[in-house]
Structure 1
């Protein structure tokens, strides 16, 4: 079995087809042989029945055989037709038969013949295969009959009539040889046909294998397999093409993320390096930096470090696969989380006015991730609100809205707001990494909700987050 499994697939298919055909041909050939054999034997039995039709009233030839009770047939003179049937009488109390003078030979007596003679039932006709004294196969019919012997006594005897099976067995042997030859040709042909079919049918698999090997060797994800038809191979080819397309897209996104992250990290690192070099040069040359300038440098270093930490945290958040379990989903009060995020936003924009109307709403989400997403949304509203402006926050029937009165987002820029590292030209001078809304969108989608940004009436931006849930907590939560 291990050796068979180690063979190529096309070889295994060819062998399986050949074996299946061999079994089928063997079954059909065997059935055919037995059917023909039964028909031929029926013909021989019909001849024997016709020959034994006079029993249990023996002919004069049979009576003569009993009276003489010769153990061998009369010698043939060469004139007239040669006898075909074996005719003899078997007595119940002896193994020695009384052979008819015109018998074709002598049939070996068996115990079943004497049993038929002993029972004397005229309806009991038995057929069997036997041999004559020369060892030739014959078909034997045994019929019970009653005859008078030389002493005028009625004896229990059985008439044995036999017919040679030489021609019948010759026909069956010829048929067996013919069936064997035809079966052999069929099996060999089936094996060849199976191999051809396997090679033809597995050509798409060969192309798929070559494509996979090419991808593994060159990492070229632009390879596509031509798809023909709607069968399983076509489905496999489509799946492979979809997989390579998804991998290529993922690799492109990864490369773009790395490039964008490198670009975003370069700015704060350059600023940090410049500030630190100024401080180091002051220490090395002994030229003290004025206290006000030194405080400004230290504040700049601290701000850049904070920006770097925030950027690295955002990158770590986005680098986590969507399929990874980010934490247990719990039934949480969205209005309470929104209230906590609102308190943090008030600390970051103390000069702003916050108007909140939060109705109870319970959702299933990861509490920490959801709170961070809401903080990011409110941070954007604080960042773009004018001094002394108002931020309106509302929660009604699972729809959370955050509206600011800032400059708003142009219509041509709205499709890009959730892209990683994308920042509006007007916002590039403000702190931030361009990853906040990407994280918000991802968190909302993982909670089964949706988010949208649209221009607000009268100016500003209106952020709408919809999350599935209920106004009352489920039992047991």
Structure 2
């Protein structure tokens, strides 16, 4: 069944469900009608076997006396005009069973075999039994009958006899046979109709899925993430459509960010590469022409190449950190964040010649990647060192999971604060300084991965305060 398409499976399941329901109703109807017919037949049997003095055509003591007096076990057929020559109504069969188990047939009453249940009534163990059996009618033909065997008392002396009365089952079996045929035809028509209805319902229900499939195939063929499908209704299909539109919108935004990253990275890479190529061309041309450059000029060119290579290496590292976070598996372990900050502060002191870097660190344990956390803190400290004035001070504090890095530099203007964590964004005052504009973007990414947040605000009295907050505990777990 799994090999069938979804439309075929829905049609098959709908047809099967309707078929089971129709079959159950048909079977239940057949049994209800059967019980009703048997109930009607049993009432007729009780009326026929009520005893002497009943309606015209019922048995009488005279008939019993004749049957007992001339007791014979062979069927008696009599069509004369005597009072006892009538044909029993409804094909009724009747006979008398003596105390010794001998059968005495009655005129035109046919004959029935005596079962153990009948003998139990003869012995007085039971007053009455009712069951299906068979017998021979007055014409000698075998018929299936419903038999009631009961004990009767014919006079005041308590003369007791056992009478077996039967009616043909034909009045039950024939209607049941016709009903079964009718129900079979109705069930077949119902199943065929349900299959057609299931196919129609499946087609109507799966139209939104077809539209979604067409949209997915269109995106796969054209790579156009602007494709949208109509969002109609509130059912599961509509929810799926909205989810697809949300997914394509997110993919489009991600693709746009990727394009921007590539474009910005290309722009940023072009500057150091161009400078390096120019300096190297000058050195090569000097060597090829045999005109040596002055030693101070050659030294300045080599220092420039070295600086550009360092900038290019740093930029490539930042791009790998931002653009390929899955390239290196993250090791999320318990990290002593205060020790990470302490190592970053030591690196900042080495880079900030002439600067004073103070640290007030309280213990704090976090879950995260140690290398990424250290890279983020180093970026914050490097920013503070880069923008600090000569002989300035950088203050680093860690208290209750909140890291504050404060410098006393020119600060960031209010209009620039919303953009400081964007990739490659640099304020006008920082464009003349070394850097790629990716440091704070890396800090924001690491903060998000660790479940924290980062912000940059202007400090009272000048300078900038970088605030990095990470969830954690005071003691190691």
Q: Confirm or deny a common fold (TM above 0.5).
A: yes
**Compared CA separation, residues 457 and 140, structure 1 to 2 (3 A):** same
Q: What do residues 434-461 of structure 1 show as CA deviations (whole Å, max 9, x unaligned)?
A: 1111111112232232211112222222
Q: What do residues 144-170 of structure 1 show as CA deviations (whole Å, max 9, x unaligned)?
A: 5699xxxxxx99974221112333322
Q: How does 1:179-194 map to 2 (within 5 A)?
A: 179-194=183-198
SS of alignment partner, residue 282 of structure 2: helix
Gaps of 5+ in 1: 148-153
CA shift, 1:312, in A, is 0.8
Match of 1:41 in 2: 38
Matched, 1:32 2:29: yes
**Compared CA separation, residues 445 and 113, structure 1 to 2 (3 A):** closer
CA shift, 1:323, in A, is 11
Q: What do residues 78-108 of structure 1 show as CA deviations (whole Å, max 9, x unaligned)?
A: 899642221223457678x4321243xx234
Q: How does 1:26-425 map to 2 (within 5 A)?
A: 26-54=23-51, 59-70=61-72, 71-77=74-80, 82-84=87-89, 85-90=92-97, 97-103=103-109, 106-112=110-116, 115-116=119-120, 119-121=123-125, 123-132=127-136, 133-144=140-151, 158-321=162-325, 325-334=329-338, 336-425=339-428
SS of alignment partner, residue 397 of structure 2: strand
SS of alignment partner, residue 415 of structure 2: helix
Greater shift after overlay, 456-465 or 122-131?
Answer: 122-131
SS of alignment partner, residue 349 of structure 2: helix
CA shift, 1:322, in A, is 6.7
Query: Following the alignment from structure 2 to structure 1, what is the Cα–Cα distance between the partners of residues 86 and 357?
Result: 131
CA shift, 1:466, in A, is 2.0
Greater shift after overlay, 207-216 or 314-323?
Answer: 314-323
SS of alignment partner, residue 136 of structure 1: strand
SS of alignment partner, residue 451 of structure 1: strand
CA shift, 1:306, in A, is 0.6
Greater shift after overlay, 25-34 or 410-419?
Answer: 25-34
Kindly indicate whether the alpha-carbon contact (under 8 Å) linking 1:144 and 1:157 is maintained by their aligned counterparts in 2: yes
- Output the aligned Cα RMSD: 2.8
Q: What do residues 19-61 of structure 1 show as CA deviations (whole Å, max 9, x unaligned)?
A: 2222222222212212221221222222222222228x97210
Query: Following the alignment from structure 2 to structure 1, what is the Cα–Cα distance between the partners of residues 318 and 373?
Result: 14
**Compared CA separation, residues 339 and 27, structure 1 to 2 (3 A):** closer
Kindly indicate whether the alpha-carbon contact (under 8 Å) linking 1:208 and 1:225 is maintained by their aligned counterparts in 2: yes
Match of 2:433 in 1: 430
Q: How does 1:438-449 map to 2 (within 5 A)?
A: 438-449=441-452
CA shift, 1:275, in A, is 1.1
Q: What do residues 399-439 of structure 1 show as CA deviations (whole Å, max 9, x unaligned)?
A: 32222222221211111111111111221221111111111
Query: Following the alignment from structure 2 to structure 1, what is the Cα–Cα distance between the partners of residues 461 and 429?
Result: 19
**Compared CA separation, residues 353 and 121, structure 1 to 2 (3 A):** closer
Kindly indicate whether the alpha-carbon contact (under 8 Å) linking 1:91 and 1:155 is maintained by their aligned counterparts in 2: no
Match of 2:56 in 1: none
Q: TM-score, normalised by structure 1?
A: 0.88
Query: Following the alignment from structure 2 to structure 1, what is the Cα–Cα distance between the partners of residues 36 and 316?
Result: 92
Gaps of 5+ in 2: 53-58
SS of alignment partner, residue 418 of structure 1: coil
**Compared CA separation, residues 328 and 168, structure 1 to 2 (3 A):** closer
Kindly indicate whether the alpha-carbon contact (under 8 Å) linking 1:454 and 1:461 is maintained by their aligned counterparts in 2: yes
Match of 1:21 in 2: 18
CA shift, 1:128, in A, is 2.2
Query: Following the alignment from structure 1 to structure 2, what is the Cα–Cα distance between the partners of residues 381 and 327?
Result: 28
Count how many residue pairs are aligned between Structure 1 and Structure 2. Answer: 461
CA shift, 1:358, in A, is 3.4
Q: TM-score, normalised by structure 2?
A: 0.88
**Compared CA separation, residues 87 and 399, structure 1 to 2 (3 A):** closer
Q: What do residues 363-393 of structure 1 show as CA deviations (whole Å, max 9, x unaligned)?
A: 3433332222122112112212222333233
Kindly indicate whether the alpha-carbon contact (under 8 Å) linking 2:336 and 2:363 is maintained by their aligned counterparts in 1: no
